[in-house]
Chain A
Amino acid sequence: MSSPLDISTGRRQALKIGGLSATLAALAAACGDNRGGDDAPGRVGDAPAVTALESFEVDQAVLLRTASSLEYTAISVYETALGLDGAIPDELVPVVNRLIEDHQAIADQMVELTEAAGGVGWTTSNPWLMDRLVAPTLEKILSDVVGLVVLDESGGLMVQVIGQVVPIAETVTTTLGEITATSSIDDLSEGDEITFTRLADAVPEDVMAFAQTLETLATASHQELASAASTVETRVAHLEAATLEARHSAALAIAIGGAEAYVSPALVGEEVPPTARFQIRHFAVESTFGQTAQIEVKAGPADLNAVRESVVLQTPAANSFVYNELEPEA
């Protein structure tokens, strides 16, 4: 038996004492009065103040309003694309018109179900998705290619564009195709920027790729909503919408990639390389089970180093729900 006066302390004992001290200190601090100071979590750096998300109830009406908002968002994208010269290939215009009809029919059904659930039907696009996904993506798609004036080994002016350094001219030839200057190429010096048109058919390719992923997003959203629905009628409606939009997604994948887009090579253990223009390839049958994971697509021109920005689409969550308290913008 050790003496109570034994002052030798082993590592284990030191850890015990240290842990106990820290625990008691935390307890004392928690129970004490007039602690003062900021109650907010500790922060590092000079970041703007965090705005807490308001807590609203998520009921069936909210989920259904969110569902109809997705349909109206898709309609808005298609109508915008149809209004852009050449954004939809001519042969696909009838298909896009049909997609709009289908989305409108689903939206109408979701509005009816919202009202049956005691909510107010939502008959416009999803404001969060429009502000943070659709508008920035369309802006990227419609933006010009940017090149940078650089010096070659002999001190001559060249332009670095889409990962290549080429002679400056009104029309520049890259390995991916020709692009034409949309800004002046006179009186340039090193470090100046030159803007160019996008590669031939790049805009419709991006628009169709974005549309295909939007259909996949809509499919995934209705898949999740089918599981969350509290009534049989709503559950069936969501699954019917999901299967219809899965058909849209598959048809657009085939329209973009042809027979090579039927099934993903990943399903037979092969690599899925991007397209020659660095676009992520999507397929009619991309997985064994319907997926609800995030979906990635490239949008807009490649930068100086031939890197294209990704857009990530995710099924609705707290930020993008159309809460009962939300009203359409006038």
Chain B
Amino acid sequence: MPSEEGRSRMTRKDPSPVDLEIAEREVDTTMSRRSLVTAGGAAALGGLAAALLVDQTAFATAGTDERPNVPTEADAALLGQVIALELAASELYRAKLESGAEGDLAVAVGVMAENHQAFAQAVSGITGLSAGEPNSAVIDANLAGFTGSDSDFFAAAHGLEQTAAATHTALIADYESDDAIALTASIAITEARHATVLADLLGVSDLDVLFGNTASALSLGDEA
């Protein structure tokens, strides 16, 4: 197990999508000479590590210090709905695989199914909420498109990715915690990339469609 000082040195520059909470050690109030020297050395090394990390934390010094790290109750209420949305998207892509997809398309569809599953798991990880059930309304609204012809699938999947990206962009305004904000940003970006792949498969040449997003966000907050 890495030491405290070791963990400091391994801190990533990029915000991790998952906050691994490290259990605090029980405070030992007895201080022998050996522990005093050890503590002094650790403090010095900790200071050095902190100095080395100045550049990496520069972004975080500009006024977000008072924000909680872990999701608040209000965040968790919204994120619980996000889990259901992501599980629904994953299930829809799996339905497409079962209804028939081959070659490169099957690989792309499989990756998108796995990615949405991973999004749900990551949200579950930061909130402690169990994965639960997929959003049945999202599945019902999209299942026919996803299991129809390839062109029906491209259109339905493109629409779903655009809607999901728009939903995350709307929700990021409501979140109160660092983890919810950082994870949402990393998810929305990948969904925008999914949408671009699907637009290409759909044969989109209109740059407003390729680069734009006119989809409306889902009103997850109403149910939360």
Contact = CB atoms under 8 A, between A and B. Distances in A.
Interface of A: 19, 23, 58-60, 62-63, 94-95, 98, 102, 219-220, 223-230, 232, 235-236, 238-240, 242-244, 246-251, 254, 259-260, 262-263, 267-268, 284-293, 315, 317-319, 321
A318 B192 contact: no
B169 A240 contact: yes
A262 B197 contact: yes
Contacts of A318: 54-55, 58
Interface string B105-130: 00110111011001100100000000
Nearest to A250: B196
Contacts of A219: 189
Given A228-B59, A292-B13, A251 B111 contact: no
20 contacts: A60-B62, A98-B211, A220-B14, A228-B59, A235-B173, A238-B185, A240-B169, A246-B189, A247-B193, A247-B210, A247-B211, A251-B211, A254-B197, A262-B108, A263-B111, A268-B107, A288-B115, A293-B14, A315-B13, A315-B14
Contact of B15 (A59, A227, A319): A227
Contacts of B62: 58-60, 62-63, 228, 230
Nearest to B16: A289
A98 B212 CA distance: 11
Interface in B40-71: 54-56, 58-64
Interface in B161-194: 165, 168-169, 172-173, 178, 181-194
Q: Which of B61, B183, B197, B210 has the most CB of A within 10 A?
A: B197
Interface of B: 13-15, 17, 37, 54-56, 58-64, 104, 107-108, 110-112, 114-115, 118-119, 122, 165, 168-169, 172-173, 178, 181-197, 200, 207, 210-211, 213
A254 B200 contact: yes
Contacts of B194: 285
Contacts of B195: 247
B210 A251 contact: yes
Contact of A227 (B56, B59, B61, B168): B59
B107 A263 contact: yes
A263 B108 contact: yes
A223 B114 CA distance: 22
Contact of B169 (A62, A236, A248): A236
B190 A288 contact: yes
Contacts of B14: 220, 224, 291-293, 315
A106 to B, nearest CB: 12
A319 B192 CA distance: 30
A226 B184 CA distance: 10
Nearest to A229: B64
B64 A250 contact: no
Contact of A262 (B104, B168, B190): B104
Contact of A59 (B60, B63, B114, B189): B63
Nearest to B188: A243
A239 B169 contact: yes
A227 B189 contact: no
A223 B189 contact: yes
Contacts of A288: 114-115, 118-119, 190
Contacts of A321: 58
A317 B56 contact: yes
Contacts of B181: 226-227, 235
Contacts of B58: 58, 317-318, 321
A58 B61 CA distance: 7
A236 to B, nearest CB: 5
A268 B103 CA distance: 13
Contacts of A225: 59
A285 B60 CA distance: 28
A29 B14 CA distance: 40
A95 B192 CA distance: 18
Contacts of A292: 13-15
Contacts of A19: 37
A318 B55 CA distance: 6
A219 B104 CA distance: 26
A311 B17 CA distance: 26
Contact of A243 (B13, B59, B165): B165
